Structure 1
């Protein structure tokens, strides 16, 4: 597992998420541990190296 730090698109707090480099392309939703708003993650690994990491808010 690889830890990645990022800024929440809602509350702007720096938080972290654990990523699994054994899965090439990942897209999922997880709540911010600080403000509990849903964040959409788009992650890509190539040969175990993180090549893409994007987070975005989900318009509600």
Structure 2
């Protein structure tokens, strides 16, 4: 598992997520640990390294 730090698209706080490199492409939704708003993550790995990371707000 990788711990990856990023800025929340809602509250702009730096938070972290744990990413699993055993799945090469993944998209999922998780709430911000600070403001509790839903964030959609798109992550890609190649040879165990992060090649793509996007965290965006879900327009509601």
TM-score interval, smaller chain: over 0.9
- Which residue of the partner structure matches residue 17 of structure 1? 17
Q: How many residues were matched structurally?
A: 60
CA RMSD, aligned part only? 0.3
Deviation, 1:47, is: 1.1
Q: How far is the alpha carbon of 1:7 from its aligned partner?
A: 0.3
Unaligned runs of 5+ in 1: none
TM-score scaled to structure 1, two decimals?
0.98
Structure 1 residue ranges, 4+ long, deviating more than 3 angstroms after superposition: none
Which residues of structure 2 form unaligned runs of 5+?
Answer: none
